Every structure is written in structure tokens, then in C-alpha cells.
Amino acid sequence: MATQQRDAAIVGIHEYPSRDVEGEVTPLDIKADSAARALEDAGLTFADVDAIYDAGEGGVNGLTISEYFGIKPTVIDTTMVGGSSYEYHAAHAKRDIAAGKAKVALMTYGSTAHSNVVRIGAGGRAGGTYPGDNLEVFTGATLIANYALVAHRHMHEYGTTSEQLAEIATATRYHAMRNPEAVKAMEDLEFLDIRETTIDDVVQSRMIADPLHLLDCCMISDGGGACVIASPEVARDCAKPPVWILGSGEATKYPEAGGDITTSAGALSGPIAFAEAGVSPAEMDVAMIYDSFTITVLAILEDLGFCAKGEGGDWVTGGKLRFDNPAGPALNTDGGGLSSNHPGMRGLFLLLEAARQLRGESTAQVADAKLAVAHGNGGMLGTRHCAGTVVLAKD
């Protein structure tokens, strides 16, 4: 492994345990509780925080969240790029800490999407006017329709099958059944027949947007969490071993004449992150990949360089993505958005589980995990979206 710049580390994490809060708490409540517990996990307090990274999803902004937490940060970053926001925040925190602008960064997320009955996948676009609206919206395309288009195109171009996509869903469910919080989530959200699933279970589940079946789609839950990132000087005295941020990459993609909808912005962000980290995809023990749908994972695994474009279907077969398969890497070992939680923007949870794996605290622990990649996809695959890739290492 090449020598890396270890100038910032994840030192505190917390994932809000409930995926169905039934209106009893607000997104801000989830953010505040998670922040306090993540700081406690690190052995720090709110008084130690001098940088805030917030996507504004809780109905607050960088200014008001600072007041609510009772801190006076010298850095506020309110980057909002959907589900990849938290990978961007981690990258920016590393950069700001390395530049000497901050020592302790706090990232939080809270959502009550399930309790508020937000139709994330079946609805139209979430507000605002997009440059491509005149070409896309009039057809009535929902969010999931964009992913179905990518899946169809991938199948047409490369011969990918529904059974191959199902490998992703069965791997994440395999991990979810080992995670008590994920099992409780499925119970609270009234999943039927909660158990490890088979390829046949996935392809026989009802069609949602051809060729994507019900079990190819993420759940809609409540939830949230927090992550604390600190300088080396602070990290060395924290309560838990640091998880170092080795490298990061950010990229954007949108529809273009002659463009390939099966290639995501990860094809740009991934190489940047791995080059900065001085490691390759083949060295990853854990891959935390945004799994809004199974096709999201398949396309991103290819784009990050785990295999060539079009080879993902063959590459994921045979249970390769399970935590106890040494062929690895292990995929979404908390159960992912498919079987653990997806409150609307899942990027933070990718960092939390990657950190748990590298601490040795996962419920589907990879033996001697040393390296992990967390990759967020914000926006919609097949149209405009942002990608954030973060490479992490055990202390």
C-alpha cells in the first residue's frame, strides 16, 4: 500500500435506531440526538466542534443548526447534492482540517420520509425546475422510471439479466438479517416474510418499473445519524480508533446527446479518489455503494473500476458480495437501502457502516477489514446526478 496523507479521520458515529418514528420526533430531533451520541462515541462534546457540514434536509441551515447545537463554528459547509452530500461533506471536512481551518467537524442527517408518506420513487421530481424538464417531465417519468431505463439499456447493451441484478438484493438482505436494527426496520415497515431471500424471490416479486421488481427497490424509512471527523491531533486522543479518510473524488453527470446512461458520474469521481488514496478498487475489503435500486449498485461497481463496463452482471454472481465470501468486496454490510434504511438521502449511512467495519464493529463483520470505499449517488441515475467517492482505512 502506498503512503497516504492521514490528515483527517472519522472518530465518532451514530445511527438513529428507529426507521419508523410515527410522528413522535422531527428530523431536527433525530439530527440533535445523533449528534450528541456521535460526539459521545468519540469522547468529545459540542464545545469541541468548530466546523458544521449540513445538507439542510432537516428544515434548517448552517446558521440555524449551529445555534440549535449551541456552537460557533469557524467553518460552515451547506453543500446539497442529494444522496451524495455526505461523501462531499467528508471530503470537504478532510480538506478544511488539512488546511488548518478546523479540528472537529460534525455532519448530521435526519428524515421522517416514511412517517410523512413521501413517495420518493413513485413520485415525480422533487421541486424546482430542471434544464431538462421540457424533454423529460411531460412524459410522466417517475424517479424509478429513470433507473428502469438504465437497467433496460444495460440489459440491451451487455446481456445483463434480472437474476444478476438479484444477486445484489440477496447479498444486502443476507447482511440485513444479521443486523438487529435492520430486522426491526423491516418489521416496523411491515415487510412480509422477513428472511434471507433467494434469486427467485427477487425476480418473482411484483414488477414496479420494468425490469425492476419490488425487491430491486429500496425501502422508504425514517432515520438519520451523525458523523464526527477530526484532525490527527484530536483523533489520537479520542475514545475509539480513528478511521482515516485517505482520498475522495467528486463528479457530476447530466444528459447529453450521444451520452451513455449506463455510465454514472462515479466513472469520474472513483479514479480521483483511488489515486489520492494510493490504492486500487481490487484492494477494497468493503464497498458501501448507494443502493437506491439494484441497477444503481451494478453500474457504480463497474464505474469505480471493480470490473469493466458491461461485466458487472457476471462479476457479482455466486454470492461474491457477501461478507463471508473472501472473493469480496463485501457490499453494504448493514443491509443497505434495500433492506436496512433509506430515508431519502442515504450517503451518511455508507460512511457509518464503513467506519464500523474498519473498527471491527459490524454485525456482518469482514475478517480483518483494512480498506473500504463509500460511494454516494445524488440525483437520478440516467439523468443528472452527482457522485461522491470516499476511500477509508483502518488505523
Residue 101 vs residue 124, higher pLDDT: 101
Assigned domain for 157 exists: no
pLDDT at 9 > cutoff 50: yes
Assigned domain for 78 exists: yes
Kindly indicate the confidence band of residue 129, based on its pLDDT and cuts at 50, 70 and 90: low
Query: Average pLDDT in the 368-378 region?
Result: 97
Query: According to the model, what pLDDT value does residue 221 have?
Result: 96
Hey, what's the torsion of the CAs at 224, 228, 229, 233, to 10 degrees? -170
Question: Do 7 and 231 meet the contact criterion of CB atoms below 8 Å apart?
Answer: yes
Assigned domain for 126 exists: no
Kindly indicate the confidence band of residue 219, based on its pLDDT and cuts at 50, 70 and 90: very high
Kindly indicate the confidence band of residue 275, based on its pLDDT and cuts at 50, 70 and 90: very high
Q: Mean pLDDT of all residues in the chain?
A: 94
Assigned domain for 59 exists: yes
Assigned domain for 141 exists: no
Assigned domain for 160 exists: no
Assigned domain for 181 exists: no
What is the per-residue pLDDT across 280-339, written as a single tens digit (0 to 9) for each? 999 999 999 999 999 999 999 999 999 999 999 999 999 999 999 999 899 999 999 999
Q: How many structural domains does the chain have?
A: 1
The pair phi, psi for residue 20, each rounded to 5°, is -145, 90
Question: Do 113 and 235 meet the contact criterion of CB atoms below 8 Å apart?
Answer: no
Assigned domain for 180 exists: no
pLDDT at 147 > cutoff 80: yes
List the domain range (segments joined by +) for residue 281: 9-116+219-394
Strand order of the sheet with strand 51-53?
Answer: 75-77, 51-53, 104-111, 223-230, 9-15, 243-253, 385-394, 371-379, 286-289, 330-331
pLDDT > 70: percent of the chain: 94
Query: Average pLDDT in the 226-253 region?
Result: 98
List the CATH number of the domain containing 16: 3.40.47.10
pLDDT at 121 > cutoff 80: no
Sign of the alpha-carbon torsion through 119, 168, 226, 84: negative
Under 8 Å CB-to-CB from 162, ≥6 apart: which residues? 202, 203, 211, 213
Q: How far apart are CA 34 and CA 46, in angstroms?
A: 12
pLDDT at 3 > cutoff 60: no
Query: Average pLDDT in the 260-285 region?
Result: 97
